[in-house]
Structure 1
Amino acid sequence: MDSKHSEPSPLESLPVELVRLILSALPDVISLQTAILSSPTFYRPFVRAQSAITSHVLLQQIDATVLPDAVLAVSASRLQTCDETDRLELVREFSRKSLGDKAMLPKTWPLQEAVAIAKLHVYVDGFAHKFAAATLTEPPFAPAESSPMPTQQESLRIHRALYRFETYRHLFRVAPDALRLDSLQLFFRHYSTFENEQLACIHDFFARAVLLSLIGKVSDGTFETTINSPLVQNLLLLGLEGLHNAIYRVPGNLFADLPPGADLFRPQSFLYAGLCYANDSEIHITLNEMSPQLQELHIRKPFFADPDSGPLEAWKWAYLEEMGMEFVFNRARRSLRRWGYVLWDRWRLDDIGVLEEPFEPW
Structure 2
Amino acid sequence: MSSITKLPCEVIVLVLRDLGNMRSLLPCLLTCRYFYSCFRENPGVAADILRQQVTPALIPYSIAALEASRLNPRTGAAVQELLETLYTEPSKLADRLRTMSVPLLAKMGNMHEATHSLATTFANSSWTCLSNDQGSRISGSLSLSSAEYFRFCRAFYRVELYFCLFRTSTPSTAAELLDGSDKERFLSKHAPWENEQLGCALEFLERQLSEASHDVLAHDVELGELGIDYLTAGDGNGWRQLWLSQGIGFIYRLINENSYETKKALLKSTFGAGSADLYEALCTPSEEGLDDVIPLAEYTDEALTTLFPVLDSQDTDKGPFEAWRVAFNVWPRCAWVMLVNSFGLRKRAYVFWDWDRLERYGMLELSDNVPEGSELQYTGEEYDAMYESFKERSNIWQKGGSGYWSRGDESKIVWRHR
| TM-score of Structure 1 vs Structure 2, range by shorter chain | 0.7 to 0.9
Between 1:141-150 and 1:312-321, the stretch displaced more is: 141-150
Partner of 1:219: none
Matches within 5 A, 1:235-274: 235-250=243-258, 255-258=263-266, 261-263=269-271, 270-274=277-281
Q: Check the 8 A contact 1:192/1:303 in 2, yes or no.
A: no
* Offset of residue 151 of structure 1: 3.2
CA contact (8 A) 2:76 2:182 kept: no
- Corresponding residue number in structure 2 for 1:3: none
Do structure 1's residue 73 and structure 2's residue 65 form an aligned pair?
yes
Distance 1:211 1:254 in 2: 16
1:355 and 1:180 map into 2 onto residues whose CA distance is 38
| Runs (4+) off by over 6 Å | 143-146, 357-361
State whether residues 168 and 274 of structure 2, in contact with CA within 8 Å, keep that contact through their aligned partners in structure 1.
Answer: no
Q: Percentage identity across aligned positions?
A: 25
Distance 1:177 1:136 in 2: 42
C-alpha contact (below 8 Å) 2:75/2:177 kept by paired residues: no
Give the residue type in structure 2 aligned to 1:207: E
Q: Which amino acid aligns with 1:131?
A: F
- Return the letter of the residue paired with 1:273: E
8 A Cα contact 1:132 1:149, kept in partner: no
Which of 95, 106, 119 is matched with 2:83 structurally?
A: 95
Corresponding residue of 2:14: 21
1:169-318 mapped onto 2 (5 Å cutoff): 169-174=163-168, 179=178, 181-183=180-182, 185-215=184-214, 225-228=232-235, 229-250=237-258, 255-258=263-266, 261-263=269-271, 270-277=277-284, 279=286, 280-318=289-327
How far is the alpha carbon of 1:183 from its aligned partner?
A: 4.1
Contact kept? 2:167, 2:275, Cα under 8 Å: no
1:156 counterpart = 2:150: yes
Relative to 1, partners in 2 of residues 1:38 and 1:50: Cα closer, same or farther, differing over 3 Å? same
Output the CA distance in 2 between the equivalents of 1:101 and 1:256.
42
Residues in 1 aligned to 2:240 and 2:154: alpha-carbon distance in whole angstroms: 23
* 1:234 aligned partner, one-letter code: L
* Code of the aligned partner of 2:233: T
SS at match of 1:233: helix
Mark the runs of 5 or more structure 1 residues left unpaired by the alignment: 1-7, 217-221
Q: State whether residues 115 and 248 of structure 2, in contact with CA within 8 Å, keep that contact through their aligned partners in structure 1.
A: yes
1:50 aligns with 2:57: no
The CA deviation at 1:299 is: 3.2
For residues 241 and 21 of structure 1, the distance between their equivalents in structure 2, rounded to whole angstroms, comes to 31
Match of 2:106 among 115, 120, 129: 115
Aligned CA RMSD, in angstroms, stands at 3.3
- Name the structure 2 match of 1:168: 162
> 1: distance between equivalents of 2:278 and 2:87?
18
**Does structure 1 conserve the Cα–Cα contact (< 8 Å) formed by 2:155 and 2:197?**
yes
Q: 1:59 aligns with which of 47, 51, 58?
A: 51
Do the aligned partners of residues 214 and 318 (structure 1) sit closer, same or farther apart at CA in structure 2, a change above 3 Å counting?
same
Show the counterpart of 2:357.
348
Task: Answer yes or no: is the 8 Å Cα contact 1:141–1:352 preserved in 2.
Answer: no
Task: State how far apart, in whole Å, the 1-side matches of 2:304 and 2:13 are.
Answer: 52
**2:283·2:338 contact (CA, 8 Å) conserved in 1?**
yes
Counterpart code for 2:162 = Y
2:243 and 2:270 in contact (8 A); partners too: no
Amino acid aligned to 2:66: V
Q: What do the CA deviations read for 1:16-65 (whole angstroms, capped 9, x no partner)?
A: 222122212212122123322442111111222221x2233222212211
CA offsets 1:203-236 (integer angstroms, 9 cap, x no match): 11011122223447xxxxx999522211221111
8 Å CA contact 2:234–2:241 kept in 1: the answer is yes
Distance 1:261 1:354 in 2: 43
The structural deviation recorded for 1:168 is: 0.8
CA distance in structure 1 between the aligned counterparts of 2:240 and 2:267, rounded to whole angstroms: 16
Is this contact kept in 1: 2:167–2:276, CA < 8 A?
no
- Judged with a 3 Å threshold, the aligned counterparts in structure 2 of structure 1 residues 301 and 254 are, in CA distance, closer, same or farther, namely farther
Q: Any idea what SS the aligned residue of 2:343 has? A: helix
Q: Which residue of 2 aligns with 1:5?
A: none
| DSSP 3-state at the match of 1:26 | coil
Deviations 1:112-150 (A, max 9, x none): 242222111110111122112221111465599975343
Cα deviation for residue 272 of structure 1 reads 0.7
Contact 2:115 2:156 in 1 (8 A): yes
